[in-house]
C-alpha cells in the first residue's frame, strides 16, 4: 500500500491501482452520508477532483493521485456511504484506475512514512 | 486554541474526548467520540446534553416589570407585555430597514426579563439594549453557564435531580433549587424535541453536567448534532438563515409578531422597521424562506443557488443544508421568490456546477414533540 499527503491510499492490483482514503482521513471527515463517484472510462490527470465525499459536516473533494483512466467505480458506496467510516481500507475503495505511467507510484509514501506524517 | 473563550465545561469536554472547534469566539465541542450521526439520533431517541454557555444571558429590569416590558417592545415586534409570568417567547431584534439584527428568547421572571441572545451578536445586542432601553438596567450575566438537555428522556433525567421540572410545559420558565444551587430553567430548546435549557452558576455547571451524564439516557452532544437537529426542526440559524438583509416576513417568522403589535393592535408598530414589516405582514414579501428537499441523495448546502427548471436566472438560494439523520435524507432550507414558495414546487439547485432537482417543502421536516 502507498499513501499520499492527501490521506489517500493506493493498492496495486494487477495492472490497476485501487484508490481509497485512510482511516485517519475517514475519522477526520466524520460520518459520511454521500459519495459522488466519476464515470467509468473517465480520463483524469493527477490533481483532478474525481470523488466528492459529503460528511454530516461538510463536502470534501478527493483528487486523482495519478494520471490515467478510471476503469471501475465502487457503486456500493452510493447505497452505503457509511462504508467509508466502517471499512475505509477495504470495502470502501472508490475507484480503480489504469495508470498511464506506473513510475508515478514511486513518489508516494510507505505506511511507516504516512504514519509518521499523521503522528 | 489562542484567543478563544472557554466555557465552564471546557475541561469536561476535553476529558470526554470532544473534538473542539472555534465557534463565535468560543472553543466548543463539534462532536464527541461517537460522532454527529449517533449524537443526533440518540438525542431524538433518548437525550443529548449540549453546552450552550457561549450564548448571551442578559437581565433587563426597571422600576416595574411593565416598564421593562414596554421599553423592550421598542426594539422587538413582539408582545412582551403579553408574556405571562413564568413564560418565555421567541423574539427578534429588528433594524430600521426591517431586517433582523438577532433572534432571542425573552422570559418573564416576575421581577425582571431574562433574554438569551446569540453568541456572535451578544456584544452588539447588549450595546443596542443599553443605548435604547430608557429607564432600564441591562445586566449581562457573566457568571452562569447554560446547558441544554434535549430529547424525550430529558424530563426523566432532569426530574431525577430537580423534581419541579416535570410540571413545566413547553416555554415555561422557572427558578428551581438543586442542592442549594439556583437554577433558571426553561422547557425549550433548539432541536424540535421536548427538553430544557438550564442556566446555572459557572462553578456548579460541571457538577450538573456530570450528574446528568451519569444517567444512561444522556450522552454529550456537540455543535454538529445541534445543527442537524435544528435544521430538521426547521429552525433558523442567525447569520445563515436570517440576518440584517432578511425581514421577519421573508423569513416566514410572522408567528413571532403577535396581534398586539400588528396594524389595528393595541400597541401596533413602534419597533424598528415597523413600516416595512407591518406592510409585508399584509401584502407579503417578494421572497420567502421555505424548506427545500433535494430529490437525490446529495446534500445541498448553504450558498447553492436555486433556479426554475431549465432556467438560468436564479430565483433563490439555499441558506442551510445538510444530511438529516432522522429523515435518512438530505434536507435544506433557503429563500425563493414568493410565487415559487408553494409546497411541492419543483425547482433546481446548483451543486458543483450541476443542477439537482429539489422540491419546496413545509417545515419543520419532522414534527416537533414539545410537551405543551
Secondary structure (DSSP) of B144-204? EEEEEEESTTHHHHHHTT-GGGGG--TTBEEEEEETTEEEEEES--SSSSSEEEEEEEHHH
Question: Nearest chain B Cα to A78, which residue?
Answer: B297
Number of domains present in the structure of chain A: 1
Task: List the single range of A5-9, A88-92, B346-350, B368-372 with lowest mean pLDDT.
Answer: B368-372
Q: Which of B20, B130, B7, B135 is nearest to B66 (CA)?
A: B135
Q: Please give the Cα distance from B302 to B319 (Å, whole number).
A: 4
**Of all helices (H) and strands (E), which one includes residue B86?**
none
pLDDT of residue A57: 83
Cβ B297–A78 below 8 Å, yes or no? yes
pLDDT of residue B117: 98
pLDDT of residue B346: 98
* Interface with A, mutate which of B33, B37, B304, B331 (most A CBs under 10 A): B37
The cell numbers describing B28, all together, are 466548543
% pLDDT > 70, chain B: 100
Question: Nearest chain A Cα to B302, which residue?
Answer: A58
Cβ–Cβ < 8 Å for B204, B177 = no
* CA A38 remoteness from chain centre: 12
Please determine, for the modelled complex, whether the ipTM score is greater than 0.95. no
Task: Choose the closest CB to A54 out of B37, B38, B298.
Answer: B298
Instruction: Please report which confidence band the pLDDT of residue B233 belongs to, taking 50, 70 and 90 as the band edges.
Output: very high
Identify all chain A residues contacting B31, using CB atoms and an 8 Å cutoff: 30
Cβ A57–B224 below 8 Å, yes or no? yes
Q: Please give the Cα distance from B300 to B330 (Å, whole number).
A: 7
Q: Across residues B100-115, what is the average pLDDT?
A: 98
Q: Where on the phi/psi map is residue B41: left (φ > 0), alpha (ψ -120 to 50), or beta?
A: alpha
pLDDT at residue B2 greater than cutoff 80 = no
Cβ–Cβ < 8 Å for B267, B260 = yes
Q: What is the pLDDT of residues B26-47, one digit of tens each?
A: 999 999 988 999 999 999 999 9
**B324: number of CA atoms within 13 Å, CB side?**
26
Strands (DSSP E) contained in chain B are: 19-23, 26-31, 47-51, 56-61, 87-94, 100-108, 113-117, 137-141, 144-150, 173-178, 181-186, 195-201, 218-220, 287-294, 305-307, 314-324, 329-337, 346-351, 354-361
Q: What is the pLDDT of residues B292-313, one digit of tens each?
A: 999 999 999 999 999 999 999 9
Q: Is B298 on the interface with A (CB under 8 A)?
A: yes
Question: What are the residues whose beta carbons fall under 8 Å from the beta carbon of A69, sequence distance 6 or more?
Answer: A41, A42, A43, A44, A97, A98, A100
SS3 B254: helix
pLDDT of residue B319: 98
pLDDT of residue B56: 98
Cβ–Cβ < 8 Å for B83, B71 = no
Cβ–Cβ < 8 Å for B247, B256 = no
pLDDT at residue B214 greater than cutoff 90 = yes
User: Chain A: nearest CA to B3, how far in angstroms?
Assistant: 24
Cβ–Cβ < 8 Å for A82, A66 = no
pLDDT of residue B372: 87
Per the structure, the complete domain to which residue A42 belongs is given by: 2-118
Identify all chain B residues contacting A85, using CB atoms and an 8 Å cutoff: 35
Identify all chain A residues contacting B229, using CB atoms and an 8 Å cutoff: none
Q: What is the pLDDT of residues A36-50, one digit of tens each?
A: 999 999 999 999 999
Cβ B323–A52 below 8 Å, yes or no? no
CATH code assigned at A64: 2.40.50.100
Identify all chain B residues contacting A78, using CB atoms and an 8 Å cutoff: 297
**Of all helices (H) and strands (E), which one includes residue B226?**
helix B223-232
Low-confidence ranges of chain A (pLDDT < 50): none
Angle between helices B36-45 and B223-232 (to 10 degrees): 60
Q: What is the pLDDT of residues B234-290, one digit of tens each?
A: 999 999 999 999 999 999 999 999 999 999 999 999 999 999 999 999 999 999 999
* CA B176 remoteness from chain centre: 23
pLDDT at residue B205 greater than cutoff 80 = yes
Amino acid at each position: 500500500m502507498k499513501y499520499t499527503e492527501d490521506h489517500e491510499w493506493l493498492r496495486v492490483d494487477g495492472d490497476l491501482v485501487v484508490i481509497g482514503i485512510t482511516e485517519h482521513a475517514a475519522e477526520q471527515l466524520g460520518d459520511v452520508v454521500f459519495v459522488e463517484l466519476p464515470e467509468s472510462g473517465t480520463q483524469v490527470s493527477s490533481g483532478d477532483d474525481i470523488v466528492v465525499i459529503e460528511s454530516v459536516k461538510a463536502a470534501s473533494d478527493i483528487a486523482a493521485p495519478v494520471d490515467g483512466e478510471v476503469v471501475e467505480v465502487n457503486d456500493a458506496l452510493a447505497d452505503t456511504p457509511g462504508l467509508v467510516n466502517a471499512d475505509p481500507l477495504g470495502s470502501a475503495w472508490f475507484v480503480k484506475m489504469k495508470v498511464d505511467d506506473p513510475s508515478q507510484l514511486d513518489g508516494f509514501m510507505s505506511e511507516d512514512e504516512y504514519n509518521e506524517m499523521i503522528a | 486554541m489562542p484567543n478563544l473563550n472557554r466555557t465552564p465545561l471546557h475541561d469536561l469536554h476535553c476529558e470526554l474526548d470532544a473534538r473542539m472547534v472555534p465557534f463565535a469566539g468560543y472553543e466548543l465541542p463539534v462532536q464527541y467520540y461517537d460522532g454527529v450521526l449517533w449524537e443526533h439520533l440518540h438525542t431524538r431517541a433518548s437525550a443529548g446534553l449540549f453546552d450552550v454557555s457561549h450564548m448571551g444571558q442578559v437581565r433587563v429590569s426597571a422600576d416595574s416589570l411593565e416598564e421593562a416590558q414596554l421599553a423592550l417592545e421598542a426594539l422587538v415586534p413582539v408582545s412582551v407585555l403579553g408574556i405571562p409570568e413564568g413564560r418565555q417567547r421567541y423574539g427578534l431584534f429588528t433594524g430600521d430597514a426591517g431586517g433582523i439584527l438577532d433572534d432571542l428568547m425573552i422570559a418573564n421572571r416576575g421581577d425582571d426579563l431574562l433574554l438569551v441572545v446569540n453568541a456572535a451578536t451578544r456584544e452588539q445586542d447588549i450595546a443596542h439594549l443599553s443605548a435604547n432601553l430608557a429607564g432600564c438596567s441591562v445586566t449581562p450575566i457573566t457568571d452562569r453557564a447554560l446547558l441544554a438537555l434535549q430529547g424525550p428522556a430529558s424530563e426523566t433525567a432532569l426530574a431525577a435531580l430537580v423534581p419541579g421540572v416535570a410540571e413545566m410545559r413547553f416555554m415555561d420558565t422557572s427558578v428551581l433549587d438543586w442542592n442549594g444551587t439556583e437554577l433558571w430553567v426553561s422547557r425549550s430548546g433548539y432541536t424540535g424535541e421536548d427538553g430544557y435549557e438550564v442556566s446555572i452558576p459557572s462553578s456548579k455547571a460541571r457538577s450538573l453536567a456530570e450528574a446528568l451524564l451519569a444517567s444512561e439516557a444522556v450522552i454529550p452532544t456537540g455543535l454538529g448534532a445541534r445543527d442537524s437537529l435544528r435544521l430538521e426542526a426547521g429552525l433558523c440559524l442567525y447569520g445563515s438563515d436570517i440576518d440584517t438583509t432578511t425581514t421577519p416576513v421573508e423569513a416566514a417568522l410572522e408567528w413571532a409578531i403577535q396581534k398586539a403589535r400588528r396594524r389595528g393592535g393595541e400597541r401596533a408598530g413602534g419597533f424598528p422597521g415597523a413600516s416595512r414589516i407591518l406592510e409585508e405582514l399584509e401584502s407579503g414579501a417578494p421572497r420567502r424562506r421555505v424548506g427545500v428537499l433535494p430529490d437525490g441523495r446529495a446534500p445541498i448546502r448553504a450558498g447553492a443557488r436555486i433556479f426554475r427548471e431549465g432556467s438560468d436566472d436564479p430565483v433563490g438560494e439555499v441558506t442551510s443544508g445538510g444530511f438529516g439523520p432522522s429523515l435518512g435524507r438530505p434536507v435544506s432550507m433557503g429563500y425563493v421568490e414568493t410565487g415559487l414558495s408553494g409546497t411541492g414546487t419543483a425547482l433546481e439547485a446548483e451543486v458543483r456546477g450541476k443542477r439537482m432537482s429539489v422540491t419546496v417543502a413545509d417545515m419543520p421536516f419532522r414534527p416537533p414533540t414539545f410537551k405543551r
